A and B are shown apart, each in its own frame.
Chain A
Amino acid sequence: MRYLPHTSDDVRQMLETIGLAGIEELFSGVPDACRLSRPLAIAPGCSESELLGRLKKLADANAQVSEWDAFLGGGAYNHFIPAVVDHLVSRSEFYTAYTPYQPEISQGTLQAIFEYQTMICQLTGMDIANASLYDGASACAEAVLLAVRCARKRSKILLSQALHPQYRETVKTYCRYLPVEIEELPFDAGYVTDLQALKDRLDEQVAAVVVGYPNYFGRIEELATLAELSHARGARLVTAVAEPLALGLFKSPGELGADVVVGEGQSFGIPLSYGGPGIGFFAVKKQDMRALPGRLVGETLDQDGKRGYVLTLATREQHIRRERATSNICSNQGMCTLMVGIYLALHGKRGLRQLAEQNYSKAAYARRRIGSLAGFQPVEGEVFNEFAVLCPEPAAQLLARLEKSGILAGIPLCRDYPQLENGILVCVTEQNSKQQIDRLVAGLAGGAA
Chain B
Amino acid sequence: MSGTESRGLVLDEKLLFESSDPGRIGYSLAELDVPPAVPATALLREELTGFPELSEVDVVRHYTRLSTWNYGVDSGFYPLGSCTMKYNPKINEKAARLPGFAELHPHTPDHLSQGALQLMYELQDALGEVSGFPAITLQPAAGAQGEFAGMLMIRACHEANGERRTKVLIPDTAHGTNPASAALCGYQVVPIASDGQLSAAAVAEAMDSDVAGLMITNPNTLGLYEKEIREICQIVHDGGGLVYCDGANLNALMGISRPGDIGIDVMHFNLHKTFSTPHGGGGPGSGPVGVVEALQPFLPVPQVVRSEAGYRLDYDRPQSIGRVKAFAGHFGILVRAYAYILAMGGDGLRRATELAVLNANYVRARLEGVYDLPYKQRSLHEVVFSENNLANDCHTLDVAKRLIDYGFHPPTIYFPLVVKGALMIEPTETESKQVLDEFCDALLAIAAEAQEHPELLKQAPVRARVKRLDEALAARKPKLRWED
Contacts and interface: CB of A to CB of B under 8 A. Distances in A.
Interface string B89-104: 1010111111111111
A88 B339 CA distance: 23
Contacts of A107: 66, 69-70, 465-466
Contacts of A310: 469, 471, 474
A82 B281 contact: no
Contact of B466 (A39, A308, A415, A430): A308
Q: How large is the interface on B (under 10, 10 to 19, 20 to 34, 35 or more residues)?
A: 35 or more
B63 A26 contact: no
Interface stretch (A14-22, A150-158, A204-212, A227-235): A14-22
A42 B329 CA distance: 23
B358 A11 contact: yes
A345 B62 contact: yes
B465 A102 contact: no
B108 A90 contact: no
A30 B54 contact: no
B378 interface: yes
B49 A122 contact: yes
Contacts of B322: 169-170, 172-173, 176
Contact of A296 (B118, B341, B358, B480): B480
B63 A104 contact: no
A336 B284 CA distance: 7
B282 A93 contact: no
A297 to B, nearest CB: 7
A106 B214 CA distance: 36
Given A39-B350, A76-B107, A360 B34 contact: no
B29 to A, nearest CB: 6
Interface stretch (B199-207, B254-262, B386-394, B444-452): B254-262
B118 A58 contact: yes
Given A29-B380, A107-B465, A108-B66, A335 B431 contact: no
B122 to A, nearest CB: 9
Nearest to B188: A323
Contacts of B230: 31, 33-34
Contacts of A90: 93
A258 B180 CA distance: 28
Contact of B283 (A128, A335, A408): A335
A169 B320 CA distance: 12
A63 B467 CA distance: 51
B106 A275 contact: yes
B71 A106 contact: yes
B98 A55 contact: yes
A431 B458 CA distance: 56
Given A101-B80, A123-B48, A137 B254 contact: no
Interface in B257-284: 257-258, 261-262, 276, 278-284
A63 B108 contact: yes
Contact of A328 (B80, B147, B358, B433): B147
A119 B113 contact: no
Most buried by A among B67, B279, B429: B67
A104 B469 contact: yes
Interface string A343-364: 0111111111111011011101
B217 to A, nearest CB: 14
B378 A28 contact: yes
Nearest to A399: B109
Nearest to A433: B33
A42 B45 contact: no
Contact of A252 (B45, B276, B475): B45
Most buried by A among B152, B183, B359: B183
Contact of B481 (A6, A73, A117): A117
Contacts of B294: none
Contacts of B54: 345-346, 348
Nearest to B99: A64
B91 A52 contact: yes
Given A60-B115, A70-B105, A177 B255 contact: no
B207 to A, nearest CB: 19
B416 to A, nearest CB: 11
B357 interface: yes
Interface in A99-154: 99-109, 111-115, 117-119, 121-123, 127-129, 131-132, 134-138
Given A39-B350, A55-B335, A115-B15, A3 B27 contact: no
Given A135-B326, A137-B326, A318-B176, A27 B51 contact: no
Given A138-B324, A300-B469, A295 B129 contact: no
B8 interface: no
B473 interface: yes
B325 A304 contact: no
A256 to B, nearest CB: 10
B126 A42 contact: yes
A449 interface: no
A40 B255 contact: yes
A136 B323 CA distance: 13
B377 A351 contact: no
B454 interface: no
A137 to B, nearest CB: 4
A249 B39 contact: yes
Given A328-B184, A360-B39, A52 B326 contact: no
A102 B321 contact: no
B37 A40 contact: no
B152 A302 contact: no
B332 interface: yes
A420 interface: no
B281 A100 contact: yes
Contact of A349 (B53, B119, B429, B470): B53
B227 interface: yes
A62 to B, nearest CB: 5
A10 interface: yes
Most buried by A among B107, B261, B351: B107
B144 A275 contact: no
A251 interface: yes
Given A94-B281, A274-B104, A275-B331, A298 B478 contact: yes
A376 interface: no
Given A104-B464, A345-B16, A274 B470 contact: no
A41 interface: yes
A8 to B, nearest CB: 12
A80 B201 CA distance: 60
A4 interface: yes
A149 B31 CA distance: 48
A95 B129 contact: no
A197 interface: no
A314 B315 CA distance: 38
B237 to A, nearest CB: 16
A405 interface: no
B95 to A, nearest CB: 5
Contact of A34 (B101, B229, B361): B229
Contacts of B48: 122-123, 248, 349, 352-353
A446 interface: no
Contact of A3 (B39, B53, B89, B155): B89
Interface string B114-147: 1110110000001001101000000001111101
Interface in A57-76: 57-66, 70, 72-76
Nearest to A434: B33
A414 interface: no
A127 B255 CA distance: 50
Contacts of B94: 52
Contact of A104 (B344, B346, B466): B466
7 contacts: A56-B98, A59-B99, A74-B107, A95-B88, A97-B71, A322-B180, A382-B40
Given A250-B43, A331-B143, 16 more contacts: A3-B429, A4-B429, A26-B380, A39-B350, A51-B95, A75-B106, A98-B85, A105-B69, A173-B323, A295-B282, A298-B478, A300-B471, A312-B475, A314-B475, A361-B34, A382-B40
Listed from nearest, the 7 A-B pairs whose CB atoms lie closest are A275-B327, A59-B100, A275-B106, A61-B115, A45-B345, A334-B282, A96-B72
